[in-house]
A and B are shown apart, each in its own frame.
Chain A
Amino acid sequence: MAAKSYYILFANYTHGLALQALLKREGLESRIAPTPRAIQGELSCGMSLLVKEEHIEAVRACIERNQAVHHSIVEMENQIQPNRNRFC
């Protein structure tokens, strides 16, 4: 079964960077990534925070606890293997 990733979507970069700063303060891992076109919906383009499957529940709890501004959290199966040979 393919691994899953979770994209946290935002209305703008400021909201995204604010949440990333919050997650960092709480020791939770996330990475800024371009939002996949398939899940952008009405937001269309922009940044998202990419969270690994093993961290998503802690991240959700943090968002809930702090009432952090965000648009939505979308689950996606990884289309590309992250440990691929980058020069293949």
Chain B
Amino acid sequence: MIYLDNAATTLRKPQQVIDAVVNAMTSMGNSSRGTHDQSIQASMAIFQCRCKLMQLFHAPSPDRVVFTQNSTEALNIAINGLIHAGDHVITSDLEHNSVLRPLYRLEQEQNVELSFVPADKKGCINYDDFEALIRPNTKAIVCTHASNLTGNILDVKRIGKIAEKHGLLFIVDASQTAGVFPIDMAEMNISVLCFTGHKGLMGPQGTGGLCIADHVNIRPWKVGGSGVQSYSKTQPAELPTALEAGTLNGHGIAGLSAALDFIAEVGVDAIHQKEIALMQQFYDAVRQIDGVTVYGDFSTTNRCAIVALNIHNYESSAVSDVLAVDYDIATRPGAHCAPRMHQALETTEQGAVRFSFSIFNTEEEVKSAVDAVRCIAQQQ
């Protein structure tokens, strides 16, 4: 089987991740719930993971690294905890539903106003649009670091400067870039960085979180057990406890911590270079095949290792199904939870077949995928 759906989740994890999860599941107590060895082991493993994430993303301190189940939960916490009735938010056409749906709900239920920076047919934006859309009641810019559909990157440092200039909160969805691109919260002026653990970070599913800049105060959306301040009627105010009601996924976080060690050993730049080389090999070949349409901006290698395409006018789901059944190649078809980006690319009806590469893919696998696309395109 050739797995090319790494933008959905990285299937192949470093062996040390698997070992760490197995070890945690046979030895770990509940973190923040006691001081016997097993509980402290859990608390320590989670604390160490916070420290590694703090270093990776240049977060202010370990206690401002909050764990969640995934990016969607992190984005819900950030958006619902910071945006209030009457606020105006600027976002983009590149967004995933994990950004769009929380914003649409606030629009419907709390009269929050939304503006979208439009994307062109290549999925590119004009950065001046962010500044042009600012109103007196603009509270925040919420946007992705990279499109999960095309792999196009947004220049978050540039957007962060606009947010800083106008005193806006800047919430970034790093689902596709964490672990693959250097992210510096301080340099990029990011107020809240939302990430998932199971994609580029190569950790287990059910891990993710948010890193919160100093002086950003997010109202918790869930409250409950914390292991501390048990007689208080309210959720403890101190981070990370304020936003982490309930038992954490300690087993998963132990795996994520091991994955962060792997990334530190190999290097974010080396991982990105390997993935981009595989993507380029695939793109250079498929773009020359008659009947293949590739979407997105490939004028730069400063992008995620994603190639979205269609073959003739075939249903993208049918193409992906043939790839899976006849060629044993895993891809993702359909709408990719990015409705506005499909509108921009004019692929709302057809969807697109997404090939996404990881450090563990090989040139031989890419060649097989190219051959499969060629065969399907030639079967008229």
* Chain A contact residues, CB within 8 Å of chain B: 10-15, 17-18, 21, 32-34, 42-47, 69
CB distance from B168 to the nearest CB of A (A): 28
Q: How far is the CA of A12 from the CA of B239 in the complex (A)?
A: 8
Chain A residues contacting B31 (CB-CB under 8 Å) are 13
Q: How far is the CA of A32 from the CA of B36 in the complex (A)?
A: 9
User: Do A46 and B63 contact each other (CB < 8 Å), given the known contacts A13-B47, A17-B47, A34-B35?
Assistant: no
Say yes or no for B238: interface residue by CB 8 A criterion.
Answer: yes
Chain A residues contacting B230 (CB-CB under 8 Å) are 44-45
Say yes or no for B227: interface residue by CB 8 A criterion.
Answer: yes
Say yes or no for B303: interface residue by CB 8 A criterion.
Answer: no
A-facing residues in B226-254 (Cβ within 8 Å): 226-232, 236-241
CB distance from A77 to the nearest CB of B (A): 20
Q: Which of A21, A46, A69 has the most CB of B within 10 A?
A: A46
Chain B residues contacting A43 (CB-CB under 8 Å) are 228-229
Say yes or no for B40: interface residue by CB 8 A criterion.
Answer: yes
Say yes or no for B62: interface residue by CB 8 A criterion.
Answer: yes
* Chain B contact residues, CB within 8 Å of chain A: 31-32, 34-35, 40, 43-44, 47, 50-51, 61-63, 226-232, 236-241
Chain B residues contacting A32 (CB-CB under 8 Å) are 35, 40
Name 17 interchain pairs, CB-CB below 8 A, sorted by A. Answer: A11-B229, A12-B226, A12-B228, A12-B241, A13-B31, A13-B32, A14-B62, A14-B240, A17-B43, A32-B40, A34-B34, A34-B35, A42-B229, A42-B231, A43-B228, A46-B227, A47-B43
Determine if B236 and A11 form an interchain contact, defined as CB atoms under 8 angstroms apart: yes
Which 4 residue pairs spanning A and B have beta carbons closest together? Answer: A46-B228, A11-B238, A17-B47, A12-B241
Chain B residues contacting A12 (CB-CB under 8 Å) are 32, 63, 226-228, 236, 238, 240-241
Q: How far is the CA of A75 from the CA of B99 in the complex (A)?
A: 49
Chain B residues contacting A14 (CB-CB under 8 Å) are 47, 50, 62-63, 239-241
Q: Which of B40, B63, B236, B240 has the most CB of A within 10 A?
A: B63
Determine if A13 and B62 form an interchain contact, defined as CB atoms under 8 angstroms apart: no
Q: How far is the CA of A42 from the CA of B63 in the complex (A)?
A: 20
Determine if A13 and B229 form an interchain contact, defined as CB atoms under 8 angstroms apart: no
User: Do A17 and B44 contact each other (CB < 8 Å), given the known contacts A11-B228, A47-B35?
Assistant: yes
Determine if B241 and A11 form an interchain contact, defined as CB atoms under 8 angstroms apart: yes
Q: How far is the CA of A45 from the CA of B232 in the complex (A)?
A: 11
Q: How far is the CA of A21 from the CA of B48 in the complex (A)?
A: 10
Determine if A44 and B229 form an interchain contact, defined as CB atoms under 8 angstroms apart: yes
Q: How far is the CA of A42 from the CA of B228 in the complex (A)?
A: 10
Chain B residues contacting A13 (CB-CB under 8 Å) are 31-32, 43, 47, 227-228
CB distance from A9 to the nearest CB of B (A): 10
CB distance from A46 to the nearest CB of B (A): 4
Q: How far is the CA of A15 from the CA of B242 in the complex (A)?
A: 13
Chain A residues contacting B241 (CB-CB under 8 Å) are 11-12, 14
Q: Which of A12, A18, A33, A42 has the most CB of B within 10 A?
A: A12
Q: How far is the CA of A21 from the CA of B40 in the complex (A)?
A: 13
Chain A residues contacting B34 (CB-CB under 8 Å) are 34
Q: How far is the CA of A18 from the CA of B47 in the complex (A)?
A: 8
Q: Which of A14, A17, A47 has the most CB of B within 10 A?
A: A14
Q: How far is the CA of A27 from the CA of B65 in the complex (A)?
A: 26
